[in-house]
Amino acid sequence: MAQTTPSPAPTLTVAPPAAVALSGVGKTFELSRGRAVSALEDLDLHVAEGEFVAIVGPSGCGKSTVLRMVAGLERPSTGTVVVEGRSPRELARSHRLGVAFQEHALLPWSSIRGNVALPFHLAGRPVDAARVDELVRLVGLEGFESARPRQLSGGMRQRAAIARALVLRPDVLLLDEPFGALDAVTRRRMNRELARIWSEERITTVLVTHDVEEALFLADRVVVMTGRPGRVRHVHRVDFPRPREAAITRSPEFHEAVDLLTGLLDAEGTA
Amino acid sequence: MRRALGALAHYWPIAAVFVGWDLWVVLNGYTTVVAPRPGLVLADIAAEPGAYAGDLLRTLLTSLVGLVLGMGVGILAAIAVWSSAAVSGVVTPAALVLRSVPVTAMIPVIARVAGYGDSSILLIIVVVSFFPAFVLTVSGLAATPAAGRDLFGVLGAGRLRTLVRLQLPHAVPHVMVAFRLTAPSAVLAALLAEYLVGTGGLGHLFSTARSYMELERAWGTALLATVVSVLVFVLARGAERRVGARFS
């Protein structure tokens, strides 16, 4: 009963191909004595080219695990993770990912310039000094190029980490609470800076945070996750025009959105 | 005057050692054959510094070369153990065996195998210097923070680049601890080996001076050896602090 008639070409989806696509992703972590905990279940998430998506969720919902899977640091137990049409590990191996985690992981023995230039060394490419200088300027660290990380404040170290993440013009930028360890005032300032930097670079970005205001201020879409096992509970489109100024955080629309998302998170927290 | 008082406040224990030594000899009525007075010993060093200088230099040089070789072998072995489980299965037990046998007991065996001379002495210092560098480098390589390893993974760094740019620099303070621990023992091992099987160096000088009943010379050698050991310890500690601060 072999079909000889040529089958029609598969219908093309209307949406442009996603830069980051998680489909039916689940992750279970093995604990001791054969017990396992399910961190994520059947999670679908698509991030378009040049889009900024923030993931918020109650603590322990596996949002960092999502980011680590996109970074190729964890493998999904079920489902697939595709970044720029390839596996995350392949993308990492071709030096196309940029990351900034809560721990800045700057090399203490290296200067700020050396740290920002590190991705060039790891990619085995000659250091583009002009690009390094440009990024040091972009994150506002000019004058501190030869300082060592421990001579700088926490905020300055995170700026250096962000400059390092951007220096190779990555296809995808992954941020895991990059300002999580900073005080509230510094954190707000860093978010304004990040919004400015991002509107200049427009890189596909996934940000993980537990701060709803931070997510709304920075992202095009905010994904609210459920508690463990994590799933997508709600996706909120953010329509504030760019470049965004601090003024939008005082608008009624902003407050309304904060209340909505905080409500969703609180419901998750008690569930 | 004030500086002299300051120095006195700081270094009085050293003066006390000499005064105590002198009193101990005089009050017991010891002859020079039993124990020379410190003045005589110092006078011998001052009168004939050339008699000591060559051997002192030789001991220092042998210690340094042996220390560098031993620590180098230890660091290389640690890298080999880190890079392959198969190598680890061979090297780690061998290193432990080497560690468990006291070096004094090994000296005659090593001399029998490597000959009575500088090569044996170097080999003994290498054996003494190997283990701390090996163990501390292994732990330094393993103690690289997870955040750094994650970063290097995401940036697509291979194993070799991760080793060279992350793990080895991270292990430097650990290696410097090994250096501080080993440097004085390397000098001690050199002196002991020279005394037992050497053809030169402070240890050998002590042994010959004693057998010719040149007691001032023998005690002078012991005094110099003590000073050298203390200085080596102080210098090594300074280097550890300095380099450790640079790398953390």
Q: What is the pLDDT of residues B7-28, one digit of tens each?
A: 777 888 888 989 999 999 999 9
CA of A119: which chain B residue's CA is closest?
A: B155
Q: What is the least distance, in Å, from the CA of A193 to any CA of chain B?
A: 23
Which pLDDT does position A269 carry in this prediction?
A: 60
Interface contact B243, partner A, CB < 8 A:
no
For all residues of chain B together, what is the average pLDDT? 89
Interface of B with A in 136-155 (CB under 8 A): 145, 147-148, 150-155
Interface of B with A in 164-183 (CB under 8 A): 165-166, 169, 172
What Å distances lie between residue B70 and B109, B134, B211, B228, CA to CA? 18, 9, 32, 20
A2 against B161, higher pLDDT: B161
The domain ranges of chain B are 48-246
CA of A165: which chain B residue's CA is closest?
A: B155
SS3 assignment, position A153: coil
Which pLDDT does position B248 carry in this prediction?
A: 80
CA of A96: which chain B residue's CA is closest?
A: B155
Q: Kindly list the residues from chain A whose CB atom is less than 8 angstroms away from the CB atom of residue B246.
A: 109
Q: Which of B154, B163, B165 to mutate to test the interface with A (most CBs of A within 10 A)?
A: B154
Interchain pair A95, B156: CB under 8 A? yes
Q: What is the least distance, in Å, from the CA of B153 to any CA of chain A?
A: 7
Percent of chain B with pLDDT strictly greater than 70: 100
ipTM above 0.90, yes or no: no
Which pLDDT does position A2 carry in this prediction?
A: 47
* Class in CATH terms, B48-246: mainly alpha
Q: Kindly list the residues from chain A whose CB atom is less than 8 angstroms away from the CB atom of residue B154.
A: 71-73, 92, 97, 99, 174
Interchain pair A119, B155: CB under 8 A? yes
pLDDT at A12 over 60: no
Buried b (16+ CB within 10 A) or exposed e, A163-195: bbbbbbebbbbbbbbbbbebeeebbbebbbbbb
CA B79/CA A229 separation, integer angstroms: 41
Q: Kindly list the residues from chain A whose CB atom is less than 8 angstroms away from the CB atom of residue B145.
A: 103, 105
Interchain pair B172, A109: CB under 8 A? yes
Long-range contacts of B85-88 (CB under 8 A, 24+ apart): none
CA A22/CA A74 separation, integer angstroms: 13
The domain ranges of chain A are 48-95+205-271
Q: State whether CATH 3.40.50.300 applies to domain A48-95+205-271.
A: yes
pLDDT in tens, A68-80: 999 999 999 999 9
Interchain pair A124, B161: CB under 8 A? yes
- Least trusted range by pLDDT, from A253-257, B105-109, B135-139: B105-109
Interchain pair B169, A109: CB under 8 A? yes
- Least trusted range by pLDDT, from A95-109, B30-44, B82-96: B82-96
